[in-house]
Amino acid sequence: MRSSVDYEGYAKCTNLGHCTSGCAQGAKASTDITYWPAAIRAGVELRTRCRVREITTNEHGMTSGVVYYEADGVEQFQPAEVVILACNAVGTARILLNSVSARFPTGLANSSGLVGKNLMFHPYARIAGYFDEMLDGYRGPGNCIWSQEFYETDQSRGFMRGYTFEFSRGQGPVMAAVDGMQIGRLPWGAEHHRAYRKLFCHRTGMVAICEDLPEEHNTVTLDPVLKDSKGIPAPKITYTLSANSRRMLDHAVARAREILRAAGAYDLWYEAPIPGGGWHLMGTARMGTDRARSVVNEWGRSHDVKNLFIVDGSIFVTSGGVNPTRTIQALALYVADSIKQPGHAVRLR
Partner 1 sequence: MLSADQCRSLRCLAEMMIPASAEYGVPSAGDDAIFGDILKSFGRDAGHVIAVLQTLDAMSSGPFADLDPQRRDAIARPKLYRDTD
One of 267, 292, 333, 348 touching partner 1 (CB under 8 A): 267
Spatial CB neighbours of 137, under 8 Å, sequence gap ≥ 6: 17, 168, 169, 170, 171, 172, 176, 200, 201, 203, 204
In the region spanning residues 273 to 312, those forming contacts with partner 1, defined by CB under 8 A, are none
Scanning 185-193, 212-220, 290-298, 340-348 for contacts with partner 1 by CB under 8 A, the matching segment is 185-193
* 190 near partner 1, rule: CB under 8 A: yes
Does position 266 bind partner 1 by CB under 8 A?
no
Residue 193 in the binding site for partner 1 (CB under 8 A): yes
Contact 109, 96 (CB under 8 A): yes
The residue among 281, 267, 230 whose CA lies nearest residue 50 is 230
Of positions 82, 135, 195, 241, contacts partner 1 by CB under 8 A = 195
Give whichever of 192 and 247 is closer to partner 1, judged by the CB atom.
192
Please give the helix or strand (H or E) that residue 97 lies within, else none: helix 88-98
User: Residue 41, interface with partner 1 (CB under 8 A)?
Assistant: no
Question: With b meaning 16 or more CB within 10 Å and e meaning fewer, what string describes 77-87?
Answer: eeebeebbbeb
Report the nearest approach of partner 1 to the CB of residue 11 (Å): 26
Minimum CB distance to partner 1 smaller for 32 or for 191: 191
Q: Are residues 97 and 221 in contact, defined by beta-carbon separation less than 8 angstroms?
A: yes
Among 180, 165, 171, 179, residue whose Cα is nearest residue 140: 171
Binding partner 1 (rule: CB under 8 A), the pick from 12, 60, 103, 197 is 197
Does 186 sit near partner 1 (CB under 8 A)? Answer: yes
Binding of residue 185 to partner 1 (CB under 8 A): yes
The DSSP secondary structure of 235-293, one letter per residue, reads EEEE----HHHHHHHHHHHHHHHHHHHHTT-EEEEEESS-TT-----B-TT-B-S-TTS
CB of 203 to partner 1, least distance (A): 12
Q: Is residue 191 near partner 1 by the rule CB under 8 A?
A: yes
Distance from C-alpha of 33 to C-alpha of 306, rounded to nearest angstrom: 32
Residues 6+ apart with CB under 8 A from 45: none
- Per-residue x/- mask for partner 1, residues 155 to 184, rule CB under 8 A? --------------------------x--x
- How near is the Cβ of 185 to partner 1 at its closest, in Å? 6
127 touches partner 1 (CB under 8 A)? no
Instruction: CB nearer to partner 1: give 197 or 261.
Output: 197
Binding site for partner 1 (CB under 8 A): 181, 184-193, 195, 197, 267
